[in-house]
Amino acid sequence: MKQNNMLAMILAGGRGSRLHDLTKKVAKPAVSYGGKYRIIDFPLSNCANSGIDVVGVLTQYESVLLNSYAAAGRRWGLDTKDSGVYILPPREKADANLDVYRGTADAISQNIDFIDTYAPEYLLVLSGDHIYKMDYDEMLDYHKEHHADATIAVIEVPMKEASRFGIMNTEEGGKIVEFEEKPAEPKSNLASMGIYIFNWKLLRKMLLADMKDPDSNHDFGKDIIPRMLEDQKTLYAYKFKGYWKDVGTIDSLWEANMDLLDKNNALDLADSSWKIYTQDTDALPQYIGAQASIERAFITQGCIVDGLVKNSVLFTGAKVAPGAKIIDSVLMPGVEVEEGAVVTRALVADHVKIGKNAIVGSADSENIELVAKRVKGEE
Amino acid sequence: MSRAFGIVNFAGNNIQGNPMQAYRPTGAISFLGRYRVIDFPISNMSNSGIDSIQVYIRRKPRSLVEHLGTGRHYNINSKRGNLNLLFCENGDENSIYSTDLAAYVENLDAIEEMSEEYVVIVPSYMVYTADYEEFLQNHIESGADITLMYQNVDNAKDHFLNCQVLNLNKQKGVLSLEPNHGNVKNRNIFMDTYVMKKEIFLDLIDKGRKLSSVYTLADALNESCGEMDIRGVSHRGYFAAMTDLKSYFDANEELLDRRKARELFHEEWTVYTRTNDSCPTQYFEGSNVKSSVISNGCLIEGMVENSIIGRGCEIRKGAVVRNCVVNADVVIGKDVHVENMVIDKHAKLIHSNQIIAEPEKPGYIRRGDKL
């Protein structure tokens, strides 16, 4: 099935070092989110739902888990003939030295041969560590309508936060006139979402030149986009409205999970017309005990709740024993909280055990506590 | 790879007491929220290394075919293994002629061409966990012609009605089979689970056909007890037969007890099913859920107690759901109070305030009904 002649490349090589212990063993796109998902499920499901057949996933940092996870294209329905998910770590080639990906643009440059085998008309470049639902096919329509050489998805951010982002300055109609990376005095509040559609032929030419440029950082934001603007290419900003979150820190990852507790929240994971697909687990449905008390919570299969859960998100297989209290917290897959323990404003990492009567986190802490090691109980 | 192929049989004319069967074959009935009854026999086979499986379908195939698909989700080897759906087009669906034996005759080619030496035949209206590889090995070692699996129960007076009973001698030889009419408490309930050589199976089909056009495989077996070495092996642990609405209700409710659930769900014995990719369940302010099993994709704002809630249900503010088995995509509206009910898929309970049945006689709300 030939769909929209656009191939997607997901940049999934980042470590996400501000997520501390969560990304010690796995790359950021493989971090768990929302009870049963991993962050990379979002761009992959968006691709599948947008009618994109071929997706390359560019991995680098701690990629073993991510490689096998993303390679199972069947999970996202990317397994028909002529369709697939390809994992692309840096590889040795006949005519070049083996090199790590030196930047976002270099990751694409090193895979020009892969992209050429599909000869797409358009190339969609995505980042693997954002949480949002977006129809890339609509963005492609916009790109075509404006006869653009490149289209960049942008989102309006509060003006006072704009200096944290790459900002697009546009003229009326959406044409980009200037790009500023983290400007001290921003002129607009349109932040780049790191989602680009390029006409492949043009980008290919530019990447080949960029590879040879010793002064380049080989980065889309720092090098390719400014060069395109210099060359008077037509760049358009595509305004995205909806939920979008970069979960770069423990606090923002926690927040993004808490966002799911609101009624009619903007991410709307329950929308069956735009499902987010993920690895299927064979776990039982949730077992809720006789003494359980649950309010404002997001809980998935495999969980066993016998204690109190309030304002919290429980991931696959999390267990809360009788008398334990989970408040304003996130329990990642396989976490066990024993009797009488109290967890407040904390994010408990995969498979960590919190012992009997232990106290973790506090209601008035400024930051969310990351619990990545077993917490011993008290008798 | 197993030396046996598997057959999953349909529920016979004796097992048609559940109103949910009006919409689908028993195997496709939802079980414990996220499963279908047929997931259990097929997972047993898959976990036992049987990966050539025939599923017989007598009527209303849509939901079962949709659920089984290629069988990939049952972890059956995608190249070497095979999940085959076999349809029976003989006559009227509830006709006395429409027996399992008639279905085997109709699909005789498909049985004859199986390369495995043995066959394991299991039902699609019973739920239990059993290792068929062990069952097969015991059978081979015993030298018997046919081995049947049974469970000794002490509640046969009001449970397992219309199931077959095995009358055994002291050496566990099968003397005869008879239907359970509920006149004796302690009975060996036949789990409709057989193992035998394919050749013996084919002989039995042939023999049954010659004796009577309305015979079932169990009838043919009963006629052979005198001349063949037929033995019983006993099974322990969770065992339920979905013979009517009450037994379906009880089978689900029983699994709210986690000790019971552990008899059915073992660590190393995955029960596979088809995923629906639903998101986790959302509990809102004011929700009150106790002693229940909840599937994914639900929105819960009301009270749920001693109930099994299927995927994608909505329990709105002020609603009370007590002792209910609720199938997928059901809406329990604001302030609606339901008790002791089985609520079939897509039903919406919006306008009635109270729908309460007696626990001994659970009520039933039909698929897609709006109340």
Taking CB atoms within 8 Å and a gap of at least 24, the contacts of A217-222 are A217/A102, A217/A103, A218/A102, A218/A103, A218/A104, A218/A105, A218/A106, A218/A109, A219/A103, A219/A104, A219/A105, A220/A104, A220/A105, A220/A125, A220/A194, A220/A196, A221/A104, A221/A166, A221/A179, A221/A181, A221/A192, A221/A194, A222/A103, A222/A181
Cα-atom radius of gyration of chain B, to the nearest Å?
A: 21
Q: Are B27 and B75 found together in one domain?
A: yes
The answer to the question of residue B275 being in a domain is no
With beta carbons less than 8 A apart as the criterion, state whether A12 and A59 touch.
yes
The token duo for B154 is 């002490």
- Parallel, antiparallel, or unpaired for β B239-241 and A190-199? unpaired
Q: Is B33 on the interface with A (CB under 8 A)?
A: yes
Whether B289 and A295 lie within 8 Å, measured CB to CB: no
pLDDT at A33 over 90: yes
What is the distance in angstroms between the Cα of B193 and the nearest Cα belonging to chain A? 25
pLDDT at A2 over 60: no
Rounded mean pLDDT, A83-95: 83
Any domain includes B91: yes
Cβ distance of B295 and A285 shorter than 8 Å = yes
> Where are the alpha helices (H) located in chain B, listed in sequence order?
39-47, 62-68, 100-106, 108-112, 132-142, 198-211, 217-224, 245-254, 258-264
| B341 in the same domain as B216 | no
Whether residue B78 lies within 8 A of chain A, CB to CB, comes out as no
Residues B217 and B80 in one domain: yes
Tell me which chain A residue has its CA closest to the CA of residue B302: A295
- Rounded Cα distance between A337 and A351, Å, is 10
ipTM, two decimals: 0.92
CA distance A218 to chain B (A): 38
In 3D, which of A115, A296, A289 has the Cα closest to residue A201? Answer: A115
What's the pLDDT at A75? 79
The CATH number of domain A287-371, selected from 2.160.10.10, 2.40.10.340, 3.30.420.40, 3.40.50.300: 2.160.10.10
| pLDDT attached to residue A1 | 38
Q: Distance (Å, rounded) from C-alpha B109 to C-alpha B335? A: 57
CA distance linking residue B115 with residue B132, whole number of Å = 18
- Give the nearest partner residue to A285 out of B277, B289, B294, using CB atoms: B294
Which amino acid does the sequence have at A214? P
Q: Do B231 and B333 belong to one domain?
A: no
Fill in the amino acid letter for A303.
C
On whether both B179 and B141 belong to a single domain, the answer is: yes
Average pLDDT over residues A100-118: 92
pLDDT grade for A66, boundaries at 50, 70 and 90: confident
B178 and B82 in a common domain: yes
pLDDT digits (tens, 9 = 90+) for B219-240: 999 999 999 999 999 999 999 9
What are the sequence ranges of the domains in chain A?
Answer: 6-260, 287-371
Are both B50 and B174 inside the same structural domain? Answer: yes
- Residue A82's pLDDT is 75
Per the CB < 8 A criterion, the answer to whether B332 and B292 are in contact is no
β-sheet bridge partners, residue A12: none
pLDDT of residue B58: 87
Give me the mean pLDDT over the A196-220 stretch. Answer: 95
Contact A286 B272 (CB under 8 A): no
**CATH at B100:** 3.90.550.10
Q: Low-confidence residues of chain B, pLDDT below 50?
A: none
Residue ranges making up the domain that contains B112: 2-262
Cβ atoms A349, A333 nearer than 8 A: no
Question: CB distance from B286 to chain A under 8 Å?
Answer: yes
Q: What is the 3-state secondary structure (H, E, C) of chain A?
A: CCCCCEEEEEECCCCCHHHHHHHCCCCHHHCEECCCEECCHHHHHHHHHCCCCEEEEECCCCCHHHHHHHHCHHHHCCCCCCCEEEECCCCCECCECCCCCCCHHHHHHCCHHHHHHHCCCEEEEEECCEEECCCHHHHHHHHHHCCCCEEEEEEECCHHHHHHCEEEEECCCCEEEEEEECCCCCCCCEEEEEEEEEEHHHHHHHHHHHHHCCCCCCCHHHHHHHHHHHCCCCEEEEECCCCEEECCCHHHHHHHHHHHHCCCCCCCCCCCCCCCCCCCCCCCCEEECCCCEEEEEEECCCCEECCEEEEEEECCCCEECCCCEEECCEECCCCEECCCCEEECEEECCCCEECCCCEECCCCCCCCEEECCCECCCC
Q: What is the spatial distance between Cα A227 and Cα A235, in angstroms, rounded to a whole number?
A: 11
In this structure, the strands spanning B164-168 and B174-179 are antiparallel
Q: Is the pLDDT of residue A223 over 90?
A: yes
- Which residues does chain B have within 8 Å of residue A288's beta carbon, measured at their own beta carbons? 289-294, 304
- Give me the residue from A277, A291, A299 closest to B283, CB to CB: A299
| CA distance linking residue A44 with residue A132, whole number of Å | 11
User: Do B86 and B200 sit in the same domain of this protein?
Assistant: yes
Asked if the structure places residue B181 within a domain, the reply is yes
Say if the Cβ atoms of A292 and B272 lie within 8 Å.
no
* Residue A21: predicted pLDDT: 86
Cα distances (Å, whole numbers) of residue B127 to A262, A284, B5, B42: 39, 15, 20, 11
Q: Residues B175, B178, B184, CA angle at the centre, nearest 5°? A: 100
Pick B280 or A13 by higher pLDDT. Answer: B280
C-alpha distance from B22 to closest chain A C-alpha (Å): 26
The whole-angstrom distance between residue B187's C-alpha and the CA centroid of its chain comes to 20
Mean pLDDT of chain A: 92
The answer to whether the CB of B128 falls within 8 A of the CB of B260 is no
Residue A93: predicted pLDDT? 76
User: A277 among the known binding-site residues?
Assistant: no
Q: What is the largest CA-CA distance in chain A?
A: 71
Q: Assign residue B237 a region: left if phi > 0, alpha if psi is -120 to 50, beta otherwise?
A: left
Q: Which of B107, B140, B95, B127 is nearest to B3 (CA)?
A: B140
B49 and B161 both lie in a single domain: yes
Other beta carbons within 10 angstroms of residue A1's beta carbon come to 8
What's the mean pLDDT in A316-335?
98
A19-33, A247-261, B260-274 — which is least confidently predicted?
A: A19-33
Residue A198's pLDDT band (cuts 50, 70, 90): very high
Domains A6-260 and A287-371 fall in the same CATH topology: no
pLDDT tens digits, one per residue of A264-298:
999 999 999 999 999 888 899 999 999 999 999 99
Q: Which helix (H) or strand (E) holds B348?
A: strand B348-349
Q: Please check if A118 is assigned to a binding site.
A: no
Decide: helix, strand or coil at residue B335: coil
Domain count, chain B: 2
Residue B265: which of A35, A277, A284 has the nearest Cβ?
A284
User: What share of chain A in percent tops pLDDT 70?
Assistant: 98
Amino acid in the structure at residue A183: P
Q: Are residues B55 and B99 in the same domain?
A: yes
The verdict on B317 touching A (C-beta cutoff 8 Å) is no
Q: Please indicate whether, in this complex, the C-beta atoms of A285 and B279 are within 8 angstroms of each other.
A: no
* B45: its two tokens: 């086979």
pLDDT of residue B111: 96
A211 touches chain B (CB under 8 A): no
Structure tokens that stand for B5 in this block: 């192929």
pLDDT at A364: 93
- Is B316 part of the contact surface with chain A (CB cutoff 8 Å)? no
Category of B297 on φ-ψ map: left (φ > 0), alpha (ψ -120 to 50) or beta: left
Residue B370 within any structural domain of the chain: no
- State the architecture of A6-260 in CATH terms: Alpha-Beta Complex (3.90)
Q: Is A255 left (phi over 0), alpha (psi -120 to 50) or beta?
A: alpha
Residues B207 and B294 in one domain: no
**Count of CB atoms within 10 A of residue B71's CB?**
21
- How many residues comprise chain B? 371
Chains A and B form CB pairs within 8 A to the count of: 93
Residues A156 and B165: their CA atoms lie apart, in Å, by 71
Rounded CA separation B294/B298 (Å): 8
Indicate the burial class of B297 (C-beta count within 10 angstroms; 0-12, 13-18, 19 or more). buried
Query: CA neighbours within 13 Å on the CB side: how many for A305?
Result: 32
Q: Which residue of A has its CA nearest to B267?
A: A283
Task: Clarify whether residues B171 and B103 are in a common domain.
Answer: yes
- Is B228 within a domain? yes
**d(Cα A241, Cα A223) in Å, to the nearest integer?**
27
- Ligand-binding site membership of A182 (annotated): yes
**Tokens matching residue B239:** 């065992």
Q: Enumerate residues 6+ apart whose C-beta is below 8 A from A168.
A: A152, A154, A176, A178, A179, A188, A190, A191, A192, A237
Q: Do B287 and A294 touch (CB under 8 A)?
A: yes
Stated pTM of the model: 0.93
